Structure 1
Amino acid sequence: MQIGEVAARTELSLRTIRHYEETGLVIPSARSQGGFRLYTETDVARLMVIRRMKPLGFTLDQMRDLLDATDRLDADDVSAGDREELLERVRGFEEVAQQRVADLRTQLARAEEFANTLRERLTKATAPANTP
């Protein structure tokens, strides 16, 4: 598929996809005769991993490290020792992701409390005064 379809499916901008290509996070699987980037389902899945890591604050290097580990795990020729080391790296990312999700939930709860406080204040300030 071409980059426009990939952008629509991943909800990433063309510019962002090109940036990830420039940084080596995703490489189009092929080019058309006209020179257009062509992507596969695997490329889309890679971009989705990147898209999910971004709001959790992972750096491009961390994204690259995780993608390298998962690529190597998917390879048929990985040794048992390498496989365990790769799994441990992925487990480390999973633990960090879980902690960051928990932190975001805490931030969201505080933000909701603040928004509710403001709403209550506005409701109270705009309510007709009680007259005896």
Structure 2
Amino acid sequence: MHIGQFAERTGLSSRTLRHYEAIGLIPPTGRTEGGFRLYTEEDLRRLMTIRRMKALGYSTAEMGELLELLDVLEDEAADGERRQQARAALEARLDDARERREKLAAQVERADEFLGILQERLG
């Protein structure tokens, strides 16, 4: 799919997609003969993972590290020890992701309380 379709499916701008490619979060895409970027369903899967990490406040550097670990874990050609190390590193990061989610949930709760205050005062 072309960048416009990809942007629409992901809810991100073409500029953001180009930036993520430039910094290595998504691999360089295929190109048409005319030089237009082409994205695959695997690119979509990866980008949706990035969006979910972004929601938890991960920096692009942290996202890159996490994606690298996920790539190793899913690479059937990687040796067993390397995959095991990636699994251990991801398990260690799981608690951090849970903590970030809890903080986000607390923020949503406070936002809901504020909305209630507004509604109450507006009558």
Same fold (TM over 0.5): yes
Structure 2 residue aligned with 1:89: 89
Residues 57-96 of structure 1: CA deviation (Å, up to 9, x unaligned): 1011111111111111222222222122101222233322
Gaps of 5+ in 1: 124-132
For residues 117 and 76 of structure 1, the distance between their equivalents in structure 2, rounded to whole angstroms, comes to 53
Aligned length: 123
For residues 26 and 61 of structure 1, the distance between their equivalents in structure 2, rounded to whole angstroms, comes to 13
For residues 76 and 118 of structure 1, the distance between their equivalents in structure 2, rounded to whole angstroms, comes to 54
CA 1:90–1:50: 2 relative to 1, 3 Å: same
1:4 CA displacement: 0.9
Q: Counterpart of 1:35 in 2: which secondary structure?
A: coil
1:27 CA displacement: 2.2
For residues 76 and 111 of structure 1, the distance between their equivalents in structure 2, rounded to whole angstroms, comes to 44
Structure 2 residue aligned with 1:114: 114
For residues 117 and 2 of structure 2, the distance between their equivalents in structure 1, rounded to whole angstroms, comes to 47
Structure 1 residue aligned with 2:49: 49
Q: Counterpart of 2:12 in 1: which secondary structure?
A: coil
Superposition RMSD in Å: 1.4
Point out the more displaced range, 99-108 or 113-122: 113-122
After TM superposition, the score normalised by the length of structure 1 is 0.85
After TM superposition, the score normalised by the length of structure 2 is 0.91
- Indicate the structure (1 or 2) with the bigger Cα radius of gyration: 1
Q: Percent identity?
A: 45
